[in-house]
Structure 1
Amino acid sequence: MNRQYNLTTNEKIVLIDLGKQGNLSPTELAQMSGLKVETVAQSAFMLQEKGLADVSEQIIESYNLTSEGDEYARCGLPERQMISAMSGPTSLEELKEKVSPKIVGIATGWVRRKGWANIEQGSVIPSGKAEVGNDEKALASLRSGKVALDQLGVDNTIIQDLIKRKLVVRNEEKLRSIVLTSAGKELVLEGITIEEEVTQITSEMLKSGEWKEKNFRSYNIHTPPRAVYAAKVHPYQRLIDQMRQIFLEMGFTEIKGDIVQSSFWNFDALFQPQDHPAREMQDTFHLKETSELPEEYKDKVCAMHEHGGDLASKGWGGKWSEDIACKNVLRTHTTAVTIKYLADNPKPPIKAFSIDRAYRRETIDPTHTPEFEQLEGVVMDKDMTFAHLLGLLSEFYHRMGFKDVRFRPGYFPYTEPSVEPEVYVEGLGWVELGGAGVFRKEVTHPLGINYPVLAWGLGVSRLAMLKLELKDLRELYQSDIDWLRKTPSPRL
């Protein structure tokens, strides 16, 4: 019968001791058997899997005072100390001298909340009622040490208030009880023989033939092994690296830029009107500092905004403000980096991209965060056309693993024509992944750029949600080691 259950020596010892007492805790079993408590617990759970024992758990809650709670249990709560120091209406300044500024600061709100006093024109006016409350009774009861809630004789809300005031802490104690099942009792009655077990064969045993007389421990080869997780790059970072590699293989140069940008490069140079909603406080992180405007471009950008410069354009009209353009912001898109790069490198050919972080005042939800990664790119050369842009983006998305790609018309202040690329995802349908277009001459002309510029900005995090099959964008940024271990890195 013992062989049938493949019992270890420790399991046999636990069974025999349980047969003597019937119901024991791991600590009691450890004292009887001479085994460690951890060994007893492990053996008990193994016996439970074999149907020979039951392990039950009970959570015991108790409460005790913090150091501050102990002080108030002895000296009285701050509100009690303040009321006790008064014989009638008293100014707050006088009370601070009688007790202490700290006590008065804490007690002022509580005396009003409890209805013990009112505060009028800098004076505390007692109401005449200041009976001992349940919170004070609970503190007095807890002076003896850890006490269970049912022994305190107060409502749970009182204890929760004391916990919020950091005067009381909650403790949990897990009690385990081990008892034999009917099968376990039957096995004990039949008799259990404890024999020496060998867990590892040695060369000496093989040479001497001693192994033939030994009793070897049985192993369950069907027991799943402990999972082993190899080190790896974060799935999101791996996806970003793959996107970077695609553009490098397509002949692009990676560029970087400052997180803090002037409104000039973030908005004005891109022909975004100064009264555009995206520039308002609810959409942009504005900073106190300002930047100097580039002398070689500011007048031309001003003219373009006000009346269209020397192009056949009307601009936006109104008065363009240098003060607004000087204000620094956290870049709302990485286009601020690419447009400055083009201004510094106006001669073709240019093929550049940037994968970096942008910032917007978004409300955090499953699909939005204030910080996000954006993939930005530009191509500038002679005879570049809208068709080249569509072909380039189609190639990128195909390399990312999306078979079906389409484009629908879009609108952006700084590109014309403009499109929004979409990919088809099984179960979701067509999903929009960014914006693209050809820079308007109102953008390129003031900066001395005389050739067509193809430009695009793609949402990296949204693409990552599709590739990693996530429903909540915040999972990409959480320190969840279990998610990191079990989420496979995306492969293109």
Structure 2
Amino acid sequence: MSSQYNLTSNEKNALIALETLNDASPKELADKVEMKMETAMQAAFLLEEKGLTKVEETVTEIFELTKEGKKYAEEGLPERQIIDSISGPTPMDELKEKFNPAVAGIATGWLRRKGWAGIEKGMIVPTGNAEKGSDEIVLEAFSGEQKTFEELGADKNVINDLIKRKLVAKTEDKQRKIVITAEGKGLVAAGITVEEEVAQVTSELLKSGEWKEKKFRPYNIHTVPKPIYGAKIHPYQRLIDEMRRIFLDMGFTEIKGEAVQSSFWNFDSLFQPQDHPAREMQDTFHLSTTSDLPVEYKDNVCAMHEHGGETESTGWGSKWSEEIACKNVLRTHTTALTIKYLADNPEAPVKAFSIDRAYRRETIDPTHTPEFEQLEGVVMDKDMSFSNLLGCLSEFYHRMGFEDVRFRPGYFPYTEPSVEPEVYVDGLGWVELGGAGVFRKEVTAPLGIKYPVLAWGLGVSRLAMLKLGLKDLRQLYHSDIDWLRKSEVCQL
């Protein structure tokens, strides 16, 4: 009868042991059949698939006080410490002097939430109602020990609040029990013969002829094998490498630079006025540090901003401040790298690009993140024209697999003429992927650059979303192991 189930010797031994035990923990079963616990559980799961056992799993939540929770269990919650120390309206500043400012800050919100006190004109005003709360009762109930939810006997919302306040930590204790079914008992009663089974044919068995007398473990050739995922580069990194390779093949030089840049290189050298909205806090990460200004360029840039320097431009007509220009920021675009590279290499020809990260104060949503990758490039040579720029970008997008490319007029403070490249995607229509143009004389003249400069800044992450079929930009940065395993390998 057992032959119809194709039981292995391990399964047979486990089933016989369970018939005696009726039910057992993984350790009890492993000890009974003298196997490793992993082997015994494998047999139990195989028997469960055949309806001969059931593996029952129970999860118990265990709660314990954190270090901060233990402290407040002894000293009282911050709001309790505050309310017990005052008898009438008390200035906030006085409480901050008496207590740790962090404690006073935490307590304020909870005093209002619990209705123990209000805040009026910088004063904490007790309401006269500060009975011991359920959260305080729960903290006392721990008595320095681990407790289950039943042992605490508290409302789940109270425990969740304490967890959010990082006063209580939760762990899970998983317990398994293997139970033999009626069908399993019937099979044992009918008789099971345990024989030594051979799982692998060896040269010794073949030479000696012993294989003729051995019983071989049956194999189910229809069992779906566990998938094996080979090592691969992250899909986003693969696309970045593909873009890098395209520009290297087109004869460009890759450049790198620091994430922290002075406002001079990030804004002023690009002829962005110092009162431009892009410099406001909502767009730029301003740092408390400063950098020295380049002596060879600062006067020329200053003159260009104030009155147009030696060109026909009138500049911005406002006073240019060295103090503003020397302040450091996290680069808002990688153009800060390419403009500095051009200043250091003013002799034609120059073909350079960078693929690196930029930073802006963006609200995180499906299409925006505070950090993003940007593909920046410049070409500087004699007789470079706007049509050369369009041809270069069209070639790049074609090599990336986009058949239809078009350019829409755009505006950027440091290029003229300016365009926004767009590609056509089935189901989405025309999608804008960045900005490009020819650097204005106001940008190149102060840095000693004599020839036309074609420049572009392309959104790498948006391009990656189109190529990978994603609807949420954040998926590029999540550690979704299933998506990473199943993503197709790009052919570079």
Q: Which interval holds the TM-score relative to the shorter structure?
A: 0.7 to 0.9
Match of 1:360 in 2: 360
* Matched-pair contact (CA < 8 Å) for 1:380–1:451: yes
Task: Count how many residue pairs are aligned between Structure 1 and Structure 2.
Answer: 491
Question: Which segment drifts farther, 27-36 or 4-13?
Answer: 27-36
1:344-402: per-residue Cα shift (whole Å, max 9, x none)? Answer: 33332222222222222222222222222211111122222111111111111111122
Aligned to 2:291: 291
- Find out whether 1:347 has 2:329 as its counterpart: no
Other structure's SS at 1:329 match: strand
Aligned counterparts of 1:288 and 1:145: Cα–Cα separation in 2? 46
Residues 175-215 of structure 1: CA deviation (Å, up to 9, x unaligned): 33333445434433432221111122222221221111111
Q: Distance in 2 between matches of 1:144 and 1:268?
A: 60
Map of 2:184 onto structure 1: 184
Per-residue CA deviation, residues 110-159 of structure 1 (Å, 9 max, x unaligned), is 78876789999999999987766545554555449554323433322333
Distance 2:314 2:77 in 1: 72
Q: Which moved more, 1:7-16 or 1:219-228?
A: 219-228
Identify the range of structure 1 (384-393 vs 35-44) with the bigger mean alpha-carbon deviation.
35-44
Question: Are 2:70 and 2:144, in contact at CA under 8 Å, matched by a contact in 1?
Answer: no
Write the letter of the residue equivalent to 2:302.
C
Q: Report the counterpart of residue 245 of structure 1 in structure 2.
A: 245
The yes-or-no answer on 1:459 pairing with 2:469 is no
Is the contact made by 1:65 and 1:143 (CA closer than 8 Å) also made in structure 2? no
Match of 2:334 in 1: 334
Aligned partner letter, 2:442: E
User: How do residues 19-418 of structure 1 correspond to structure 2 at under 5 angstroms?
Assistant: 19-20=19-20, 22-64=22-64, 134-135=134-135, 137-139=137-139, 141-143=141-143, 146-164=146-164, 168-181=168-181, 183-418=183-418
Sort the Cα spacing of 1:31 and 1:449 in 2 relative to 1 into closer, same or farther, 3 A.
closer
Letter matched to residue 374 of structure 2: Q
Q: What CA distance in whole angstroms lies between the structure 2 residues aligned with 1:326 and 1:100?
A: 37
- Provide the alpha-carbon RMSD of the alignment: 4.0
Whole-angstrom distance in 1 between the partners of 2:443 and 2:82: 69
- Measure how far apart 1:282 and its partner are: 1.5
Give distance in 1, aligned partners of 2:233 and 2:223.
Answer: 30
Whether the aligned pair in 2 keeps the contact of 1:468 and 1:490 (CA below 8 Å) is no
Question: Following TM superposition, by how much is the alpha carbon of 1:107 offset from its aligned partner in structure 2, in angstroms?
Answer: 8.4
Q: How far apart in 2 are the matches of 1:23 and 1:414?
A: 77
Looking at structure 2, the residues matched to 334 and 113 of structure 1 have their Cα atoms a distance apart, in angstroms, of: 47
- Residues 199, 107 of structure 1: alpha-carbon distance in 2 compared, 3 angstrom cutoff: same
Structure 2 CA distance for aligned equivalents of residues 90 and 393 of structure 1: 67
Provide the TM-score with structure 1 as the length reference.
0.84
Q: Return closer, same or farther for 1:106/1:357 CA change in 2, 3 Å cut-off.
A: closer
Unaligned runs of 5+ in 2: none
Of 421-430 and 127-136, deviating more is 127-136
| Partner-residue secondary structure (3-state), 1:411 | coil
In 2, Cα distance between equivalents of 1:86 and 1:305: 59
Paired with 2:258 and 2:71, the residues of 1 have a C-alpha distance of 53
Check whether the contact 1:467–1:490 (CA below 8 A) recurs between aligned residues. no
For the residue of structure 1 that corresponds to 2:362, the secondary structure is coil
Distance 1:90 1:421 in 2: 62
Q: What TM-score do the two structures reach when normalised by structure 2?
A: 0.84
Aligned: 1:423 with 2:423: yes
Unaligned runs of 5+ in 1: none
- Give the Cα separation in 2 of the matches to 1:144 and 1:29: 35
